[in-house]
Chains A and B, each alone.
Chain A
Amino acid sequence: MKPELESTIKALNKAFKIKTSEFCGDVSVHFTADKIVDACRMMRDELEFTLLSTMTAVDLGVDNEPRFNVLYYFTSVTKNLSIGFLVPVSGKNPSLPTVSGIFRNANWRERELWDLFGIKFEGHPDLRRIFMPDEWEGHPLRKDYPLGYEEPQFTFNFEEIDVRKPYAKE
């Protein structure tokens, strides 16, 4: 772990009791849903991590509990450091408090997570679908959602697929 990051980890540990993990040089801090808003505010105001690089989620499987792992990735432009927060979210009624009041680009990132994973964000000003059409059902990036694979048309099955394919009329 870089020595400059140690002071950040120490400050976070003093405010919230946290666990850290490291893999290939990337440091991740594990949080829970109730402390994430205060932690984000502390990152932006006191610890100079003003850039929220990205926010994404990983679906660990239908049987896993907690099912989703939400990642918040911060970058500090002044100190040239990066750190990630991991927040586990359960599979039944997944929801988190919003951080779009603290970082403005979290607005669309949270809409993306609602659209593709189904994680609700309480307090979000405008939670609608962003990538899929508004009346789409289902959350595509979950592991139990099918890929939507269509069978390729080779010469041996050309006619039977041709009959089924919905060609457009004039």
Chain B
Amino acid sequence: MTQLEEVTVDQIKHLVSERAVKGETMLLNMGPQHPSTHGVLRLLLELDGETVVNCIPAIGYLHTGIEKNMEARNYAQAEVMTDRLDYLNTVGNNLAYSMAIEKLVELDVPYRAQSIRVILVELQRISSHLIWLGTTGLDVAAMSTFLYCFREREAIMDILEMCSGQRMMTTYIRPGGVWRDVPVEFEAAVRNFIKTFPRRIDEYEALLTRNPLFLDRTLGIGTISAEVAINYGMTGPALRATGVNWDLRKARPYCGYEQYDFEVPTASEGDVYARFMVRMQELRQSLRIVEQALDKMPMGPVRSSNHKFVPPPRSEIGVSMEALIHHFKLWTEGFSAPKGAIYQSVESPRGELGVYLVSDGGPKPYRIHWRTPSFDNLQALPYMAKGLLIADLVAIIGSVDIVLGDVDR
């Protein structure tokens, strides 16, 4: 275990302005344990009174070594670790990983599985935006939104538990389709959710959207222009709030998104309030997609029948020799992927979530790299917070919607 050490100004001279070295401005540590940093983020603030002159993020307090650990497991075992990256978008992480493997080995996915994938991913997007709304409300001192949002989230957790048995880390979406078919209560539960949720969104909007206290704290704060945002590598709702209409679900449709009719909300100011409005409208659009996917869901198999990569059903193992051989190979060594490198990306609630998968022909990934959106979104924080008060800095961190599991991997 490493020990904490004292740091003097000289060691970080190249990061702070000369006023700090002279002692005019104060250096304050907004440490890894803090109520408003949404996880273990450490900020070194250079303050002139209450104004932020400079803000230096220090990350790495949640580094888990997932990329190296996945190299030591075969493809099916490594999927368990993908849930734990961005832990508010667990179904989306599984989707990105499964799609990367399907691209590499050229595996087909049946239509019913694609519909189920879209429904669960959009429900997960709604759940992630609800947590964002609750914790952002908590940061700007609106405590009741926190309790309401977690109440809605319980309904979504019940649906996920009904399908897979787990509330958060489901590992339900696997290469070739989904793990098993949805139970009979699934449709009724989702329809009930679609019926009750729009009124709840109206409740949240009534609480915050035209509230003068909220407007005071968020209008004109933390502005960023489109060119600077793209140069920082920002994607997702934070980029769409600056006016750029870039959404991977419309630009490069996957999983059948081209058949659903939905809009991509954008705003043009690029401040905290614009990001808030974009995410609130995304809640409504996601609900539209869920309703259309549920109406159009076809009957059929839910996982590919290519048993070189997908386990055969247990009933076949007793009667078919081939099924037994496939089962044996998959459970002892795992399937092998052809040699090469691919990049596959999906749209997560925070931005572009990408997987760069390098295979050497064996059963384990040789190198897997996760392009996580919060890592790049967080780099723009010092730019957005220059010259503002500490209270505004807290609102900006909330609006960028970072998840430290994403940043540190």
The reply to whether A108 and B379 contact each other, CB–CB distance below 8 Å, is yes
Residue on B nearest A135 in the bound complex, by CB: B2
Answer whether residue A7 sits at the interface, using C-beta atoms and an 8 A cutoff. Answer: no
CA distance A130 to B356 in the complex (A): 21
Answer whether residue B167 sits at the interface, using C-beta atoms and an 8 A cutoff. Answer: no
Answer whether residue B408 sits at the interface, using C-beta atoms and an 8 A cutoff. Answer: yes
CA distance A141 to B70 in the complex (A): 11
10 A-B residue pairings within 8 Å (CB atoms): A26-B341, A50-B231, A53-B233, A54-B369, A126-B14, A131-B408, A133-B60, A141-B68, A147-B68, A148-B65
CA distance A56 to B372 in the complex (A): 12
CA distance A24 to B103 in the complex (A): 7
The reply to whether B251 and A51 contact each other, CB–CB distance below 8 Å, is no
Q: Which residues of B contact A53 (CB under 8 A)?
A: 233, 345, 352, 354, 371
The reply to whether A104 and B72 contact each other, CB–CB distance below 8 Å, is no
Interface class of chain A by DSSP: loop
Q: Which B355-374 residues sit within 8 Å CB-CB of chain A?
A: 356, 358, 366-367, 369, 371
Residue on A nearest B339 in the bound complex, by CB: A23
Could you tell me which B residues sit within 8 Å of A by CB distance?
A: 2, 14-15, 59-60, 63, 65, 67-69, 72, 103-104, 106, 227-228, 230-233, 235, 244, 246, 251-252, 340-343, 345, 352, 354, 356, 358, 366-367, 369, 371, 375-376, 379, 408
Answer whether residue A152 sits at the interface, using C-beta atoms and an 8 A cutoff. Answer: no
Residue on A nearest B371 in the bound complex, by CB: A54
Whether A50 contacts B230 in the complex (CB less than 8 A), given A23-B341, A133-B2, A147-B68, comes out as yes
Whether A141 contacts B59 in the complex (CB less than 8 A), given A54-B354, A104-B232, comes out as no
Q: Write the nearest CB–CB distance from B319 to chain A, whole angstroms.
A: 36
Which one, A29-37, A77-85, A88-96, is touching chain B? A77-85
CA distance A54 to B356 in the complex (A): 9
Q: Which residues of B contact A59 (CB under 8 A)?
A: 367
CA distance A112 to B69 in the complex (A): 17
The reply to whether B104 and A24 contact each other, CB–CB distance below 8 Å, is yes
The reply to whether A130 and B67 contact each other, CB–CB distance below 8 Å, is no
The reply to whether A56 and B340 contact each other, CB–CB distance below 8 Å, is no
Out of B63, B228, B230, B232, which one reaches A132, CB within 8 Å? B63
Whether A125 contacts B343 in the complex (CB less than 8 A), given A53-B352, A77-B230, A105-B232, comes out as no
Q: Which A45-73 residues sit within 8 Å CB-CB of chain B?
A: 50-54, 56, 58-59, 71, 73
The reply to whether A107 and B69 contact each other, CB–CB distance below 8 Å, is no
Which 10 A/B pairs are nearest by Cβ-Cβ distance? A105-B233, A54-B371, A131-B60, A131-B63, A56-B369, A23-B340, A133-B2, A105-B376, A58-B367, A77-B246
Residue on B nearest A146 in the bound complex, by CB: B68
A95-107: contact bitstring with B at CB < 8 Å (1 yes, 0 no)?
A: 0000000011101
Q: Which residues of A contact B60 (CB under 8 A)?
A: 129-133
CA distance A136 to B106 in the complex (A): 41
The reply to whether B231 and A104 contact each other, CB–CB distance below 8 Å, is yes
Q: Which residues of B contact A107 (CB under 8 A)?
A: 379
The reply to whether A77 and B367 contact each other, CB–CB distance below 8 Å, is no
Q: Write the nearest CB–CB distance from A145 to chain B, whole angstroms.
A: 8
Q: Which residues of B contact A84 (CB under 8 A)?
A: 343
Q: Which residues of A contact B67 (CB under 8 A)?
A: 141
